[in-house]
Amino acid sequence: MRAIDGGRHSLRFAIKVAFDKYVAHLLLERQTRLMAHHGLNVTSQTLWDQCSAVTELLRRTYDALFAELRASPVVGVDQTGWPDLEEGSTHPAAKRGSPPPAEAGRTVWGRAILILTLKVALTDIKPVIWRRVRVPGALTLRELHEIIQVAMGWENAHLHSFTIDDEKYGQPDPMFGGVKNDTASPWKRWQGRGS
C-alpha cells in the first residue's frame, strides 16, 4: 500500500517520516541527510508530501476522536478571561472558591469513576494564566500531560516532568536519569487530601 496513489514510497515509510518529524522532532532536512547517508536520495519536499498524505489518511480518525473528546462528560476546561482572575478583580470567577477536588459516584460507560478537578497554572507570569480541567482519577501522568497540552493550546514541543512530593515523574531518559516513569497512575496516594 502506498501513502500517495501511484507514489514510490510505502505507507510504512510515510508513517515513519511523520513519526520522526512530529514525535522525535527530527526536521525533514535532517531526515533527508540521514537517508542520503544510507543511500536513499529524497528531497524534503518528498518527505513533506508523505507527511501530508498520512495527515489526510488520518483526518477522519482525528475528527472522530476530537468529537468524542468534546462530547465526553469527563474532560472539561474552564477558560475564564485572564484579566478577570487577577488579584483584586471583582469578577465572580475570581471570588468563587475552588470546586471540590474529587467527585465520587459519576458513571461513564456504566462504571463508577472518580473525577478529579485540577487547576493548572503557569508560575512567575502576570496576569495569571490557568485552566481548570476535570479528569478521571485513573489517569496516568502522561495522559494528564497530553490533556494539559490541549487545554493550554500547546503543541507538545518540549519534554515534561511532574514533581510530586519531591519525586520527579516524566519520560525516562537514559542520559539524564532520575525521573520516574510517568505511565503509572500516582493519584491513589493523594485521594482525600483536598486540593
pLDDT, averaged in runs of 10, over the chain (195 residues):
87 92 89 94 94 90 77 52 51 46 50 73 85 80 85 81 79 72 62 41
Q: Report pLDDT for 188.
A: 52
Query: Which burial class, exposed, middle or buried, applies to 74 when counting CB atoms under 10 A from its CB (0-12, 13-18, 19+)?
Result: middle
3-state SS assignment for residue 15: helix
User: Quick one: 60 and 86 in the same domain?
Assistant: no
pLDDT at 24: 85
Tell me, what's the pLDDT at 195?
34
Determine, yes or no, domain membership for 162: yes
Q: How many domains, the chain? A: 2
Residues 94 and 173 reside in one and the same domain: yes
Give the range of the structural domain holding residue 95, as residue numbers without chain letter.
76-190
- Tell me which residue of 2, 132, 102 sits closest to 56, measured CA to CA: 2
Give the model's pLDDT for residue 187. Answer: 56
